[in-house]
Amino acid sequence: MSRDHKLQQQWDEIVTELSAKFSDGEPLDLDAIIYLIGVQELGKGPQKFGKDDKINLMHIAICRLLEPYGYYEFDFRDAEGWPHYKVLKELPALRPGEQTVLMKEAIVWYFSLRNVV
């Protein structure tokens, strides 16, 4: 099985499982899954978030997802419990398709640590 095929299979499993839990089976897209990871990493459970908080949650998720690749490092939690990361190295210039593959790989890794795939 090729690496791309295996990644797609693992990605599809994650989408199926998360969609069943969080969207009544309607397939979640990449952004929705990144948002859910941000909520998980915040650790405060489900609640109403404003637009700025949603953007911050996605940023938290991206930092957490790219931490194993050496791009970010956890720094601290602020007084409200929000995690903050510091940049270790700048992301390379990637085309949109390459960005998507990187994020899917990182998400598959993230959930593999939690025995989802």
Q: Which contacts of 2-10 are long-range, i.e. CB under 8 A and separated by 24 or more positions?
A: 7/101, 7/104, 7/105, 7/108, 10/108, 10/112, 10/117
Q: 95 near 73, Cβ under 8 Å? A: no
pLDDT digits (tens, 9 = 90+) for 65-93: 999 999 999 999 999 999 999 999 999 99
> What pLDDT score does 117 carry?
52
- Beta pairing class for 72-77 and 83-87: antiparallel
Average pLDDT estimate for 94-110: 94
Is the predicted pLDDT of residue 115 greater than 80, yes or no? no
Residue 117 lies in a domain: no
Is the predicted pLDDT of residue 1 greater than 60, yes or no? no
> What pLDDT score does 86 carry?
97
Give the position of tokens 């690749």.
Answer: 69
Number of domains in the chain: 1
> Domain limits at 35?
3-112
